[in-house]
Structure 1
Amino acid sequence: MDKANLRQRILRSRAELSEETLKKSSAAVRELLLDQPWVQMAGLVACYWSFGSEPSTHGLIFALWKHGTTVILPVQRADGDLDWAVYDGPDSLAPGPLGIMEPVDTRRGVDTIRTAGLVLVPALAVDRSTGVRLGRGRGFYDRALARVGPNVPTVALLHDGELVDGVPAEPHDQRVRFSALPAGIIELVQM
């Protein structure tokens, strides 16, 4: 299956998820991540503000922030890259160009992701054997992940059924090392 068809299939499946299923799935992923020592010890976490039927990151971000972790969130740039700014609580966000909430704090630059001890990224699907991540097709996160160091855990947040066999890969596609699903955290690529 090509990327466009796989993307459409996953988006259709997500559209059929009930509000209750979305909440339970997101809560399970959040709790699994918060229980991991490598998440608890990450001083700086790069995350994203979820929207629509994505596994919700809102509670996760808030919990990390309340725990004292510095959380940076992406700010979309006109050139298709991601800048980063610090999350400083729920009142520190405003809608960005695509309607997704972004921090209003000072922009830290595209290379700020290099300093993260943990990177959490959105995905529609991830290939279980290679860690190839299927995004929405604009390449924002492939560009950002290319800057992440080789020993930094990169984690795609997924719903059940989105860890699949055979995500098509292109030369620019960046792999993730883990997938976090309601059923557990799966290591995909050895660190």
Structure 2
Amino acid sequence: MGENDASKHALRESILAVRAKLTARDAEATATVLAERALELPELAEARTVAAYVSIGREPGTGPLLEALRAQGVRVLLPVLLPDNDLDWGVYEGHDRLAKARRGLLEPEGPRLGPDAVTEADAVLLPGLAVDGEGIRLGRGGGSYDRVLARIGAAGARPALAVLLYDAELVGAVPAEPHDLPVAAAVTPSAVHRFTAPPPHHA
């Protein structure tokens, strides 16, 4: 394990230990606030297609945000984990149209759109454990979203990248790799934290 890998592992372990102490009620209450905060981001509020994910366990909750986006007529894409850890995508059609999948994940029922569907998104909501002041995100280490971001880059797509976190998960530094793409913003219960300027507003 290289120095970067060891640092990332230690940071992951400490954040997951803190998350494990949260109650289901804590996570639920936070999810509602996060939805309101996230919609303060024009990149999300004005998007036609958003690639997101269904939170599980004590992750910052995405449920209310998925519903709010869908209610606004946004096409929400959700990941489907493939056997090689790459991600396919399906359309979110409501909580009652989610099916239990491997690793405790919830995935959309209905047709699969193919791994390239994410390149059509105007904004991509990435799961994460932490982000630093440069917008470098710490993922869970599975590599699925590294492949997603590489696919987006190869397609020349430029969606806004954002991550939902708890307030304490804004950290001084995340060990960076050369291929890491910074996120434009992190949404926490207390505020929207921006790392790049918002795009010009289109009336």
Q: TM-score scaled by structure 1?
A: 0.92
Give CA-to-partner distance per residue, 1:13-35, whole Å, 9 cap, x none.
11122334323322221101123
Conserved? CA contact 1:146–1:174, under 8 Å: no
Q: Secondary structure at the match of 2:104?
A: coil
Aligned residues: 190
Aligned to 1:89: 94
Structural RMSD (CA): 1.7
Cα distance per residue 1:24-75 (max 9 Å; x no partner) = 3222211011233332210101000000111111111112112211100000
d(CA) in 2 for partners of 1:150, 1:131: 19
Q: Which amino acid aligns with 2:189?
A: P
More helix by share: 2
Partner Cα separation in structure 2 for residue 172 and residue 96 of structure 1: 29
Residue identity opposite 1:2 in structure 2: S
* Partner residue in 2 for 1:62: 67
Q: Is 1:162 the counterpart of 2:169 in the alignment?
A: yes
Are 2:185 and 1:181 equivalent residues in the alignment?
no
**Structure 1 residue 31 corresponds to structure 2 residue 36:** yes
Kindly, what percent of the aligned residue pairs are identical?
43
Distance 2:157 2:111 in 1: 27
Distance 1:104 1:172 in 2: 32
The CA distance in 2 between the partners of 1:11 and 1:151, in whole Å, is: 30
Unpaired stretches in structure 2, ≥5 consecutive residues: 1-5, 199-203
Q: Work out whether 1:49 is the aligned partner of 2:54.
A: yes
Contact 1:73 1:87 in 2 (8 A): yes
CA contact (8 A) 2:119 2:157 kept: no
Q: 2:178 aligns with which of 163, 171, 174?
A: 171
Q: Partner residue of 2:3?
A: none
Structure 2 residue corresponding to 1:139, chosen from 137, 140, 143: 143
Aligned residue for 1:161, secondary structure, equals: helix
3-state SS of paired residue (2:146): helix
Structure 1 CA distance for aligned equivalents of residues 183 and 110 of structure 2 = 27
**Counterpart of 1:174 in structure 2: which amino acid?**
L
CA distance in 1, matches of 2:86, 2:178: 18
Task: Note if contact 2:120-2:157 (Cα within 8 Å) is conserved in structure 1.
Answer: no
Unaligned stretches of 5+ residues in structure 1? none
Give the drift of 1:173: 3.1
Contact 1:142–1:174 at 8 Å: present in 2 too? no
Q: Distance in 2 between matches of 1:78 and 1:175?
A: 27
